[in-house]
Structure 1
Amino acid sequence: MPIDIRQFACLSDNYGYLVHDRVTGATAAIDTPDAGAINRELEAAGWKLTHILNTHHHWDHAGGNLALKETWGCEIVGPKGEAAKIPGLDRPVGEGAEIMLGASKATVHETPGHTLGHIIYHFADDRAAFVGDTIFAMGCGRLFEGTAEQMWSSLSMISALPADTKLYCAHEYTKANAAFALSVDPQNIDLKKRSAEVETLRAKNIPTVPTTVALERATNPFLRAADPSLQAAINMEGAKPVDVFAETRRLKDNF
């Protein structure tokens, strides 16, 4: 039986997620950007928090851990590479770890780049991945701690997930990401169409997240570093994809 996912906006541009196993009632918060908002959503749904699944240590992802643990006594799962930085961590996990949320299973994948220990949670049976700040709709996380090589590897792994996998990103950055994507991939017809759709959605304050692996393969410049048209647009014809990715990320940082 599939999981239920409750998505809600919080802070300035974060999304919070509650994942609920219908069989057992187990419920996880994916990161804890705002404990108050998470509690309100739990109350509205009639759910009890049993787990916190942290993707990385930044305050807008783990800042609500201790308050929620005090209220609910929930188990906190997080990246073993950042164990000392995750408040209240009970279970450090790394590549290939399996997390049982009641009867629902998530597999952990390490995705260093934004931070060195960043992880994502892939509910394969439900075609859902909670990707934190590794990938955004038409974007990717800044390289605060990791290297371009690490992030390119992480993004390549996500790109290799089944095409219909929904990617639940942690921020609503899509409109700004689309503007940059068009600057480095101006001939991309799929991108032009998607950018127009995003303008319409955001004008109505409708979320552009989740996205899908298929949509990101077609429109996200950070996944398209091997594409000749993008390479030509940034004067890197024939370069190694990782080097094209690094240059694309540098351009975005200065956009």
Structure 2
Amino acid sequence: MTFELVTIATEADNYNYLLHTEDKTVLVDAPPGVDPIMEALVQRGWGLDEIWITHHDWDHIDGVDIMRERFGARVRGFRGDAHRLPELDVAHDDGDSFDFAGFAVTVMHVPGHTEGHVAYYVPQANVVFTADTLMALGCGKTPESGLHQMYHSVTRLGALPPETVICSGHEYTLANGKFALTIEPDNPDLIERIAGAKQTRATGKPTVPTTLDLELRTNPYLRVGLQSVKDALNMSDASDEAVFVEVRRRKNSF
């Protein structure tokens, strides 16, 4: 089976994704400013069969009904947060699996940024849509759930195969990288990645998607189990979770 993944810049710093197979297309989240998404679909001659919602924030759902009405797309989301989402055609629980054009898709409940945040993992395509949970060189804020929930969610995503493509929801890479250097200033992979990201942004291109392998080598939230990181934070004997909480606490005030 073949597929095409399209990254679309929307809103101020949002990214949305189209996953297209031979005859079907899905959109992950829909911001209020849907014109770039419409243009991408029209240019390629694609329809829109489904919309997968990751969480309830306005910049991820306010365009859902517009896209549904225009294309007749079926909408999927998390059952536990259905009361805060646009009307769902299909409500999912954690661990649910469904078929999309021959691809098996697993719904992963990954709270932290919001209580009802989910990710969509498509193993046959080696891609996971993580929105505001696991991000390029970072993780999302935790206004609803908490740092402990975010730790478990990020750790769960970090256990996927290293070749998995990480499709996150915002262009935060350079800001996250600047902070990451305060944790591991001598990490050569991190230094190289930030230099590359600067060049990418200078040309107006997105720094996402990324790969889990690259995140494991550079993202401080996925490196909290390393003794070198614990020593640098003066937390040599602390648990991985405690180190994660401290790293995110520092980022909140950075």
| Superposition TM-score, scaled by structure 2 size | 0.96
Matched to 1:230, the amino acid is: V
CA distance in 1, matches of 2:2, 2:240: 37
- The answer to whether structure 1 residue 5 and structure 2 residue 5 are counterparts is yes
Matched to 2:13, the amino acid is: D
Contact (CA 8 Å) 1:187, 1:229: kept in 2 or not?
Answer: no
Displacement of 1:235 in angstroms is: 2.1
Question: Could you list the per-position Cα deviations for residues 38-59 of structure 1 after superposition, in whole angstroms to 9, with x for gaps in the alignment?
Answer: 2111111111111000000001
Q: Once superposed, what is the RMSD of the aligned Cα atoms?
A: 1.1
| Superposition TM-score, scaled by structure 1 size | 0.96
CA distance in 2, matches of 1:47, 1:66: 18
Question: Could you list the per-position Cα deviations for residues 135-162 of structure 1 after superposition, in whole angstroms to 9, with x for gaps in the alignment?
Answer: 1111000011112221111111111111
SS at match of 1:77: strand
Equivalent residue for 1:192? 191
CA distance in 2, matches of 1:7, 1:192: 25
Question: Could you list the per-position Cα deviations for residues 84-119 of structure 1 after superposition, in whole angstroms to 9, with x for gaps in the alignment?
Answer: 111122211122212322222211111010001111
Alignment of 1:51-200 (within 5 A): 51-200=50-199
Contact (CA 8 Å) 1:131, 1:167: kept in 2 or not?
Answer: yes
Contact (CA 8 Å) 1:190, 1:218: kept in 2 or not?
Answer: yes
Displacement of 1:5 in angstroms is: 1.2
Contact (CA 8 Å) 2:10, 2:34: kept in 1 or not?
Answer: no
Matched to 2:8, the amino acid is: F
Runs of 4+ displaced beyond 4 Å: none
CA distance in 2, matches of 1:236, 1:3: 44
Contact (CA 8 Å) 2:74, 2:89: kept in 1 or not?
Answer: yes
Q: Which moved more, 1:30-39 or 1:53-62?
A: 30-39
Count of aligned residue pairs for this structure pair: 253
Matched to 1:32, the amino acid is: A
Instruction: Note the residue ranges of structure 2 that are not aligned, 5 or more in a row.
Output: none
Equivalent residue for 2:211? 212
Instruction: Note the residue ranges of structure 1 that are not aligned, 5 or more in a row.
Output: none
Question: Could you list the per-position Cα deviations for residues 10-52 of structure 1 after superposition, in whole angstroms to 9, with x for gaps in the alignment?
Answer: 1111111111121xx1211100023222211111111111100
Alignment of 1:7-46 (within 5 A): 7-22=7-22, 25-33=23-31, 34-46=33-45
